[in-house]
Structure 1
Amino acid sequence: MDYLRKEFYDSVKLNDTIFDFIQNSSLDGLMYWDLENPGNDWISDKFWDTLGYSPNEILNRPSSWRTTINPEDLKSVNKNLQKHYDDPSFPYDLTSRYKHQNGSTVRIRCRGLAIRDKDNKAIRMVVVCSESPKEKESSEKFRQLLEIAPDAMIIVNNDGRIVMANQQTVKIFGYSKEELLGNLVEMLMPGRSASHHHHLVGQFFKSPKTRGMGSGMKLFATKKDGSEFPVEISLSPLKTEDGMLVTAAIRDITEQKRSEEIRQISDRLTLATQAAKIGIWEYDIVNNLLQWDDKMFDLYGISKSSFSGAYGAWQKGLHPDDVERSEEEVRLAINNKKKFDTEFRIIWPDQSVRHIRASALVQRNDKGEPLRMVGTNWDITERKRSEEIARKMASLKSKSKEMEQFAYIASHDLKEPLLTIKNYAKLLVEDYGSELHGEASHFTTSIVKASTRMEELITGLLEYSMLGSNHRQLKEVDCCKTIESVLHDLGGLIKSNQALVKTENLPMIKAFPLEIKLLFQNLIQNAIKFKKEGIQPIIIIAVEKIDGGWKFKIEDNGIGIAKNHKDKIFTIFRRLHKQNKYEGSGIGLAHAKKIVELHNGEIWVESEPSSGSSFYFTILTELL
């Protein structure tokens, strides 16, 4: 069989692959030293891998293995080597402690053979290394325990640097193991607490009395992306032959914190709403389930046994006209597009209608995904009834004022043109009879003018009195198309005055179509009529969404209105300018005011003389 050994030796000499296979498979390291030139040591990569180093980390360091051995063990190594060099019969076989890259201790058995010259002098040294089986098995078990731990586990040395981290640490913090190992543990903490923690670690290693650093400490940690999150940390000492290490178990308690906050909010809401008769509800978005407190069942007029707890059970109780809008409010809140704060109607089992106000918060996970809605309901039926009564009373009051104004006009302003007609008619008959020449022509002209004026006043008065008297229904009105129609009707006026009308994106509104068109027509017509001499009229129409409807603004660059006239302009037949300067009956803005009030809104003006005017009005019909 000797031929096989010789053949094997020759194969190893000629084929590096065989040698690499042997030393990587059966050994934990191989060394070859030049004893004639001390410091020139060849050390296999497997040795450094056993200690957790990469070959690049130990380049250009002669005899670098000596820097990793325990100083006390190095003395024994040197002593035994010298004995082996002096006496070939004295074997070199020694187990020593080496420092792993992560700070832990590794026991390695080294067996060596000196290669000698013809004078029996040791000139080379071959050393084979193998990790202690028990040590290796124990180390591997420890690493496996760290990896299967449900929490992030890190080990920190007495310099405060991370020497070991499990995969859960990588998952929670977002760093790779390469980024973690060797760095200060403060990289995982907010800057405001890093220095304090560094001080605690220092105290921990300095004095045994301070080593009870505790468990279950609730702090904040920082991920690689800079975001902070709450954690619970437990620290414990890990004694090694090289000194003391710290093992830290870190648990992400974001969900726990969120649950605690929800419980606290729920407790506070319960206490705060008992007297206010406010119902509390929670909607599990993921499982499509609703949970109500006792007050919710009172608000909806149903029993617990008749409530399934499904989302559809709430939908079923909604007024048919409010279902689509209410569901849209929920959808917008879940998609983080709008705060959930709305009103809707519900129908009780006895078919009575109740008005409900609802608000809620949407709770999300760390990815921003919606988990649940927690909210409140309260009954606003009485408030709505009071508002309706107030509106009706305001309407009656407004009509009463209209009647007063009508009576005043009928008894005063209408008498003037009527008397003129009568007087001239009388003179015409008494003095001239059937011959109409001379002064008769003048009288005739006056009669025509007075009659025309009277006709305008009567027509305007009739139009005003008819506003809102019909039984038209509120409809969806496209304001863009309405403005286009108004501009077409006023085309001649706009062209002759070279007026420019600008609009923003105008909405669809719930309104009386003909009245809303008349409203825009009166305001735009006035803006053009009361222009500055020599200045192109520019009218800008803007709108914004408000609770229950819309607020419009019609701005012009005209002559403006004095402060003491702002309230007068909306009075029927009230004119601020002479007829020969600005034609009209003085009824346009009174029409506008009445139309706005028919839509439960208000109208007002902001203006200064020579600075243009901005007419504002609201259309509040969305809840009708």
Structure 2
Amino acid sequence: MQELTRVTLQNEMDLILAHKRSMRLAELAGLSLSAQTTFATAVSEVARNTIDRGKNGRLILMVNPDQREKYIIAKITDEESQTKHYEGLTYARRLVNKYNISFDSKETAIELYFEIPVSTKLDIQKLDEWKKIFRNEPAVSPYDELKRKNEQLQDLAQKLEEREQQYKMLTNALPIIIFTLNEKGELIYANEWLKRFTGSSLQQLNTTHWKDIVHPDDYDSFSVLINNQQLSATRASAIKTQCRLRHRNEDDYYWHMASISPLNDESGKLLYWIGYIVDINAQKLVEETLKNNHELKEAQRQLKENQIVLETNIKELNRSNQELQQFAYVASHDLQEPIRKISFYSGYLLDKYKDVLDETGLSFLTIMLSASKRMRKLINDLLAYSRVERQQLQFKPVSLTQIAQEVVKDLELLVSEKNATIQVDELATVDADEGQMHQLFENLIGNAIKYAKDDVPSVIHINCKPIDDQLQILVKDNGIGFDEKYLPQMFALFQRLHSSEKYEGTGLGLAICQKIVSLHNGKITAQSQEGEGATFIVTLPISHSSSVTQEKDWLANGLPEYKPAHK
């Protein structure tokens, strides 16, 4: 629907205007005189009811240019939200083709639809022509003339207010101080940045003439901007100066560029001055440093060369690291077959030929078989560690409760053999790699079972608690424990606190846990006392942040270029 004109409904004079303009719209739409009168009468009936019983009513005349059904529409609204019976509508609805009533918390709206001939041409050009007719239609009375002028003034005032708000929003959005001065050099407007920086209002700055803000050594040059005699005498297109201004919360002064330009009317008379103040502290610091230190350029050049060398070394280190990972994977994989054969034939000899071997031979074969098993375990752990380094992480929501329960089920034989009890509380869901979470829980639970006391059934409790945007996972056991002074070496490669004769292992299990947690941007530590059990604490971000990807990019492509931050 296209709006053509509107009339405020406040008194009987407005009712006359409503009737006249309704008649005019019906005439433009090609309706007969009787149809014009019928439509205008219906509009007048509802408009009279709105004037008598409504509040801040108005009439909006519109047209529906649909090709199948064309209507002229009168929409009468008021700010009284009510469902009471409208006396005027009872008669008006019999005069129009259809009507509609709507209510909300702000207003009541009645729409009267009057059908017009389908042959009537209603394109954009025609509608613009109708709008122009209503806009330029001569006033029917002095009241109409005054009403139009008043509405124009109200529209103008609203547009001015909107533009003023837009101007304030724009100036407040810009990261510079923007202000205006009158002929006397007094502030008449400033955006929010001025008070944010100085902590002073416009009145305070006008009273103190900025003396509490501007550095004493720079005040004479700055005072040109606010000196009314100098401003009146100058004919410059712009006045600029550099000065130091004190921040509201600090005793330090920061360099700024201050500039003002005159705004004149058409006759050349000064209206006011427009100014801005820009922070140039970083630029001044660089200039002063360059002036006082001739070796800076050489240092910058050397720093750049060092950075290039550093980036080259990082790339070379990454390449070597990747080659080492590949070598560890390939070497471990290729060692599987000979170790398997050594283990197989050693076991075969012990099984088939133990009766023909002396005690020394049996001892050697037993030692060989045990060593081959430990070697195979070490190779498998190396492969596991290598896979942690090599595989691409696939982050997605992972239920740690489900992961822990699956691991407990996988370790069912070991749990039964050790007569262990594992309690898994309801855990949270985090963004993580599902496979690596499974390996993490498998290593931690297996570690807790391995270091159980000989004469005490193993009891393991797994729970978690949120801390800000992170999740802390605790795996607590009642095993042999350890002295916390050995904590740093526990997560290093091939480090063991106990002999392999009593406790099997390669010293890679906790190192793998450390690597998995590190790749998830988390931390792992433990608390324990000898003979009192241990609690391993894993802290992971609940939602995977971009810092992990950024860290991997830095390692792959070199460190980012250092850029000093401006205070």
Query: When the two structures are superposed, what TM-score results if normalisation uses the length of structure 1?
Result: 0.31
